[in-house]
């Protein structure tokens, strides 16, 4: 299993453990997140953030959950993972619902519903209906809430997921309870509890037992209500789940006149609420204190707690407003970052498109050059052959001027033939892919020297090897072409006669090889153009140099990861030094 597969496995394991072991799920998600960040693995980042966003939402840490869920959603949109994107939309709907930002909750929920229906995500569709029902219920639209809860319950009943089904039945029951339809609430609540006996989930079971307690309290069957609320407290060790049951128990004890027991429940609830930093629950508790003391005739304490209730309610309202503002700021920041990333991606995509177009243009030009070069090769060879025949057959007949013309044709044809060969060589080098290897540079140089032997004789030249030529990491056939081009260049443009020195020197992690001639130097303007195919030095027939050979050199050296260079002071007789650098072996 490779690293990416391991990260995905970590995220999947964390997701599977999120309800039964949140601490272990968090540790695995954070591990997946760290490893994904290290190697830049977007799918792994999204998986870790999805788990952490869900865990923080369940823990009420919405300031952390919201940016995590938004970032995961953005990544899944980029990856194209529709199912996980749909689930993130559901999570975001739930977060905004709990933040009482109901328009945003409904917007995300409806987006998730559309995707669930399009792709047949039945499980997600059931979750969406429950989330939409909760959002409508808490925003004061019970009829809409009832419609979505009923649809969610109908779909959940067809799924082999007892927890999901129990949650759907409990949501419907709790909605009936909040609008005073206690008799209708009882049946779905009991059905939910029955489902949880087979597949127990502490959070859902506590919520269901709380709903049953509230229903029986509404039916004024207080003993039965307290029995279910006590069972709800025992079902989950998590304070957040137990708190609602404790508050409801205190409310019932006040109604039935059991003031000491009500006081004990309120004291326990107050401790938990302060530990959880839950201002809404604290406000409810203070209101119940006021009701308790008022029922006992202790109006001073009742007034004190009523004032505390108003203060706590104001604090809760302000904190809720702050959370909403922070959530809006988070949304703004994440959306801004998303738009900036999208703009950068679009810019990169445009650049990639331009690069692809340029590469295609180069490929087309190479193909055209290859075709033209092959088409020219044959007629040039014919011209050269006929010229040689004329010079031989008319040796005693030609006057000096005619012979000079024919010699010009022969030399021009020879140079054109060289040009065609170099065009073919350039096209081949651009297209060919090679594997660099250690190269015995002195052996390759001696082979190149043999290839220019006729030019050495023709120009009465001397080539001196002044230093050893260390091995380099390259491709032998290509390096031979470099030496042939540099030596040919020095022979053609060297002094009269050419004196050529060859050597090498270390240059960091590279070896710099050089060829120095004794001809006329190059001006700075020529040095800037010499490797770009614009290098011209005219001889008797104006065709001594065309610069394509040096373009081939640069193309080869670039592909081998090295650099080319030329040095000259531009003075006659001082010559020029052409060099190329290649990575050193070892």
Amino acid 546: pLDDT: 45
Q: Which pLDDT does position 484 carry in this prediction?
A: 92
- Does residue 194 register a pLDDT over 60? yes
Q: Identify which of 300, 301, 303, 271 has the alpha carbon closest to the alpha carbon of residue 285.
A: 271
Q: What would the pLDDT profile of 257-286 be if each residue is shown by its tens digit?
A: 999 999 999 999 999 988 877 888 899 999
- Name the pLDDT band for 426 (thresholds 50, 70, 90): low
Q: Is 507 exposed, middle or buried (0-12, 13-18, 19+ CB in 10 A)?
A: middle
Cβ-proximal residues to 97 (8 Å cutoff; 6+ apart), any chain: 105, 131, 134, 135, 138
Q: Encode pLDDT of 98-108 as tens digits.
A: 777 778 888 89
Q: What is the average pLDDT value for the chain, to the nearest integer?
A: 85
Q: Please write the tens of the pLDDT for every residue from 303-337.
A: 999 999 988 888 877 776 676 666 566 666 666 76
Instruction: Pick the range with the lowest mean pLDDT from 147-161, 367-381, 511-525.
Output: 367-381
323 HSE (CA, 13 A, CB side)? 22
Phi first, then psi, for residue 577 (nearest 5°) are -120, 115
Mean pLDDT of 464-483: 93
Q: Of 213-222, 364-373, 396-405, 473-482, give the lowest mean pLDDT range.
A: 364-373
H helices within 441-566, ranges in order? 441-451, 453-459, 476-493, 524-529, 548-559
pLDDT digits (tens, 9 = 90+) for 127-144: 888 888 888 887 778 888
Residue 240 pLDDT > 80: no
CA 26/CA 21 separation, integer angstroms: 9
pLDDT at 543: 37
Per the DSSP assignment, residues forming a β-bridge with 579 are 514, 565
Q: Is the pLDDT of residue 441 over 50?
A: yes
Domain assignments of the chain as residue spans, ordered by start: 359-432, 434-583
If one compares 253 and 324, the residue with the highest pLDDT of the two is 253
**Within 13 Å, how many C-alpha atoms sit on residue 144's CB side?**
11
Q: Evaluate if residue 190 carries a pLDDT over 60.
A: yes
pLDDT at 270: 92
* CA 551 – CA 361 distance, rounded (Å): 18
The span from the CA of 138 to the CA of 294, in Å, is 30
Band of pLDDT at residue 541, cut at 50, 70 and 90: very low
CATH class for domain 434-583?
A: alpha beta
Do residues 252 and 226 touch, judged by C-beta distance below 8 A? yes
Burial track 519-557 (b if 16+ CB lie within 10 A, e otherwise): bbbbeeebbeebbebebeeeeeeebebbbbbbbbbbbbb
């Amino acid at each position: 299993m490779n690293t990416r597969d391991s990260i995905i496995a970590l995220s999947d394991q964390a997701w599977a453990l999120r309800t039964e072991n949140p601490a272990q799920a968090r540790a695995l998600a954070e591990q997946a997140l760290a490893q994904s960040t290290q190697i830049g693995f977007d799918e792994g980042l999204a998986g870790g953030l999805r788990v952490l966003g869900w865990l923080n939402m369940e823990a009420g840490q919405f300031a952390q959950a919201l940016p995590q869920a938004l970032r995961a959603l953005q990544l899944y949109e980029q990856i194209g993972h529709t199912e996980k994107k749909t689930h993130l939309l559901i999570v975001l709907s739930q977060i905004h619902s709990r933040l009482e930002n109901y328009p945003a909750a409904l917007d995300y929920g409806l987006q998730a519903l559309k995707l669930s229906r399009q792709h047949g995500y039945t499980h997600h569709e059931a979750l969406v209906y429950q989330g939409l029902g909760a959002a409508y219920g808490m925003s004061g639209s019970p009829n809409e809430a009832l419609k979505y809860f009923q649809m969610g319950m109908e779909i959940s009943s067809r799924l082999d997921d007892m927890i999901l089904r129990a949650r759907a039945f409990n949501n419907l029951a709790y909605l009936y309870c909040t609008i005073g339809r206690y008799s209708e609430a009882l049946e779905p609540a009991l059905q939910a509890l029955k489902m949880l006996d087979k597949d127990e989930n502490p959070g859902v079971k506590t919520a269901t037992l709380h709903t049953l307690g509230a229903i029986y309290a509404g039916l004024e069957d207080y003993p039965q209500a307290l029995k279910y609320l006590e069972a709800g407290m025992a079902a989950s060790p998590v304070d957040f789940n137990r708190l609602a049951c404790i508050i409801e128990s205190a409310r019932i004890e006040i109604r039935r006149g059991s003031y000491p027991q009500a006081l004990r429940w309120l004291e326990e609830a107050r401790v938990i609420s302060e530990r959880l930093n839950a201002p809404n629950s604290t406000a409810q508790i203070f209101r119940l204190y006021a009701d308790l003391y008022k029922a006992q005739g202790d109006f001073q304490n009742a007034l004190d707690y009523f004032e505390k209730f108003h203060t706590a309610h104001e604090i809760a309202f302000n904190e809720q407003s702050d959370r909403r503002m922070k959530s809006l700021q988070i949304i703004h920041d994440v959306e801004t970052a998303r738009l900036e990333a999208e703009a950068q991606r679009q810019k990169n995509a445009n650049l990639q498109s331009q690069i692809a177009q340029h590469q295609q243009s180069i490929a087309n030009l190479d193909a055209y050059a290859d075709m033209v070069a092959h088409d020219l090769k044959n007629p040039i060879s014919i011209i050269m052959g006929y010229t040689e025949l004329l010079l031989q057959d008319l040796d005693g007949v030609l006057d000096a001027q005619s012979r000079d013309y024919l010699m010009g044709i022969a030399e021009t044809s020879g140079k054109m033939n060289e040009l065609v060969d170099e065009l073919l060589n350039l096209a081949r080098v651009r297209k060919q892919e090679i594997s660099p290897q250690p190269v015995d540079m002195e052996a390759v140089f001696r082979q190149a020297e043999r290839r220019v032997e006729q030019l050495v004789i023709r120009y009465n030249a001397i080539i001196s090897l002044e230093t050893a030529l260390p091995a380099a990491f390259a491709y032998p056939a290509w390096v031979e072409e470099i030496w042939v081009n540099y030596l040919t260049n020095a022979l053609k443009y060297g002094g009269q006669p050419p004196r050529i020195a060859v050597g090498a020197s270390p240059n960091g992690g590279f070896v710099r090889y050089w060829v120095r001639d004794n001809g006329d130097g190059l001006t700075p303007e020529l040095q800037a153009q010499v490797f770009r195919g614009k290098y011209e030095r005219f001889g008797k027939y104006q065709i001594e140099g065309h610069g394509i050979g040096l373009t081939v050199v640069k193309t080869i050296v670039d592909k081998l990861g090295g650099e080319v260079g030329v040095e000259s002071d531009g003075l006659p007789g001082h010559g020029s030094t052409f060099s190329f650098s290649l990575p050193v072996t070892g």
